[in-house]
Structure 1
């Protein structure tokens, strides 16, 4: 307990000041508890940093634990006739493409009517179909306008888009003066297999007359192209299968050249990311366990058994065999494990592995299943560390439980201090009262002695 001093001199005592000093001295019992709480909270924060670094390394490993990733391709198109998107099963090669015709959707135009908003004075069933498929029946009310018919078609899901065109009274020379508003129907799909059929049950009504006089304004057409001299026809301008694993999007008639190559750069970048991520993890673990002999400053997890276990498990998986193929260890693909725990990448050796034996490199990282290759083994170890109930979570939970117990201990200690101060306050009140009585008695006796001396003639 810290030393205390009374500020009272003579006949008075500074009991309030003394009580405050006692209270401060008692509350110093709480300081070690608070210090422990802060220390454990710093360790929890350090575990959070460790978990973040482990998760980033796990993401880098997971990227390499996918056989399809190693089959990725890049595609480059010369010419504006097409664009291309390659998938993992695309066959590398060079393809000469010539587009002679784009696919088109059929359009039908009805005869004109006087107004697009006036009632057509007809009621009946409008039947639509596309490509000989199922009919879509739309009930048309008697007071419907051309705009109402358009909206009903667009809301029907029939696979047909409806619009209204004002042809000025003479569409292609066939319009009728005073009747410029024409319903135009366009198939949502291109190609000859998406031609439309339109009928209306009340053929004698204004709507029926307009629909029965429909003309084809755009003829349905298939896309026509050739790939390396092989003729291809497609219902759509998006062509799949003409080049294995590549989707061609036809933009215009003309020629183009498509070059498909393995995306070796992406693989090399992913392996480099794996090495960099692990080295960042190593740097973080070194920071958390550092010690400065001159200043005495130490990392939050210096000597921590959990972190030592993390380091040991990672060293074991990275330093062990990953399979029985061409590449069995990290050093076989240009990655060496240094004495300080970090990884060093020989980019030239990795480049040779990617260029000359990509399938073996894929087998090294991915293995026969998700847990078989090096990346899978790393992902498995990290997964067990990071899962609920895993190494990091259990250590964090243990610290949180300790902090909770310290909080309970803090509360009990604070209650004890409050009880002690209350007892001091009662004792000081009693002391204050006793001294007051003694002072009063002393004053009375002094007065009596003075009176006696005066009566006896004593000065």
Structure 2
């Protein structure tokens, strides 16, 4: 900061004078700043209102769609063995389901080799995915659609290297080397379950390095040799019965057996698990209470923001704002309106939803439960599109349409936000203008007082000189 000596020549408190005059010029800024804070509070509050309106609109929209009313629940008498869940549009039904077999992958192993990391023999392994049939009597193999995969084995390769080579082919079979007290053996397992995930391994040995046939698994053409001589687990589908009708799945889930249901089995059963699918009134009730809660949140914010609190003597942020007051009144009218048509329920109070003082909605749970015994009638009040040929939308349809208009591009909410933003910008501009005028005034005052100070300093010097001369004259006389 520059050092100012203004006032030394004149003896005046120039800094004090200039500061006070500039402060007077800046006085309008305080009022503008108060106005700016009020505008920002309104912008923030309208932003919250817009967010709650969007939530209320979503809650209303859920009640206009069939999915909001067609909620179903599924139960099983034996969840541990047969679990069921709703995945789509399901119908009311019941049935029994038993499980005879669970899906599994094919698994085979070589005989134990007592020498670890010993060479197995050279040649080529041919691995083919497919389905084994008649595995309890005379196994036959039906190749799948995937091409056979060949793995070349060097005469010096160990089981570990062969396992790596098989896994690198990514042919639907995983290979692992198991070491135990007997030595090491190669374990092969199909990556997927289901009878179509079975596999066959045929071997073309290198005559100069025999032994690779120990890795063959082809009980159809070479029974009792290689891995076919060991105990094998063949791949199989889940086998079950629904009301006595056989059904099958490559894994332990039945996704399409019953439309809209996913059934997952985990145990073989000795008796039927009873499955029941019925309307889920609890889910429908939740959709309705979510609608009420969303309205109450919006009503509380608008009510608090537009009222004057007698106890604290403070006004709400939006008190006197015609847009906010109009919106609050319109919303309360919307939710208390009487619906047309010939439905059993005409208004929310008919199903146990009453408006209290202050506009808040309360739910009489027992009355709502009673109304939901006729879900079609409740749905008609909320979601109907027409009534006897004349347009008479349901309550939720009307509210959704009303809110969509308010929230649309260039709707009331956007227009209000734009107006407040413009007011905030104008306020900032006015503050800048006042600050600029004050800066110009301060510069002019300092220039004037500097000139005055200089002139006063000259006069003071002249006065001292004259006084000195007079004193000299008086002495000489």
Cα shift at 1:209:
1.6
185, 192, 214: which one pairs with 1:210? 214
The superposition leaves residues 377-400 of structure 1 with CA deviations (integer Å, 9 ceiling, x where unpaired) of 323322332344332222112211
Contact 2:8 2:453 in 1 (8 A): no
Matched position secondary structure for 1:301: coil
Q: Distance in 2 between matches of 1:438 and 1:309?
A: 72
Contact 1:136 1:156 in 2 (8 A): no
| Matched residue, 1:286 | 303
The superposition leaves residues 121-173 of structure 1 with CA deviations (integer Å, 9 ceiling, x where unpaired) of 6464643323422224355464765334434444544333322233644xxxx
Q: Distance in 1 between matches of 2:460 and 2:39?
A: 55
- Which stretches in structure 2 are left out of the alignment for 5+ residues? 1-6, 132-143, 217-225, 387-391
Q: Cα gap change, 1:316/1:126 in structure 2, threshold over 3 Å: closer, same or farther? A: farther
1:441 aligns with 2:473: no
Q: Cα gap change, 1:119/1:394 in structure 2, threshold over 3 Å: closer, same or farther? A: farther
Matched position secondary structure for 1:103: coil
297, 306, 331: which one pairs with 1:314? 331
| Matched residue, 1:73 | 72
Contact 2:9 2:456 in 1 (8 A): no
How many residues are paired up? 437
Q: Distance in 2 between matches of 1:21 and 1:100?
A: 97
Contact 2:303 2:358 in 1 (8 A): no
What is the TM-score with the length of structure 1 in the denominator? 0.82
1:164 aligns with 2:206: no
Cα shift at 1:448:
2.2
| Matched residue, 1:175 | none
1:416 aligns with 2:437: yes
1:134 aligns with 2:146: yes
Q: Distance in 1 between matches of 2:147 and 2:116?
A: 26
1:348 aligns with 2:379: no
Contact 2:123 2:212 in 1 (8 A): no
Q: Distance in 1 between matches of 2:111 and 2:340?
A: 74
Q: Cα gap change, 1:358/1:88 in structure 2, threshold over 3 Å: closer, same or farther? A: farther
| Matched residue, 2:292 | 275
| Matched residue, 2:35 | 36
The worse-fitting range, judged by mean Cα deviation, of 321-330 and 254-263 is: 321-330
- Which stretches in structure 1 are left out of the alignment for 5+ residues? 1-7, 170-179
| Matched residue, 2:192 | 189
The worse-fitting range, judged by mean Cα deviation, of 423-432 and 310-319 is: 310-319
Q: Cα gap change, 1:159/1:378 in structure 2, threshold over 3 Å: closer, same or farther? A: farther
> RMSD of the alignment, in Å?
3.4
Q: Distance in 2 between matches of 1:302 and 1:37?
A: 16
The worse-fitting range, judged by mean Cα deviation, of 375-384 and 239-248 is: 239-248
The superposition leaves residues 303-343 of structure 1 with CA deviations (integer Å, 9 ceiling, x where unpaired) of 22322342354345432537665545434433345574333
| Matched residue, 2:262 | 247
Q: Distance in 2 between matches of 1:55 and 1:26?
A: 46
Contact 1:127 1:136 in 2 (8 A): yes
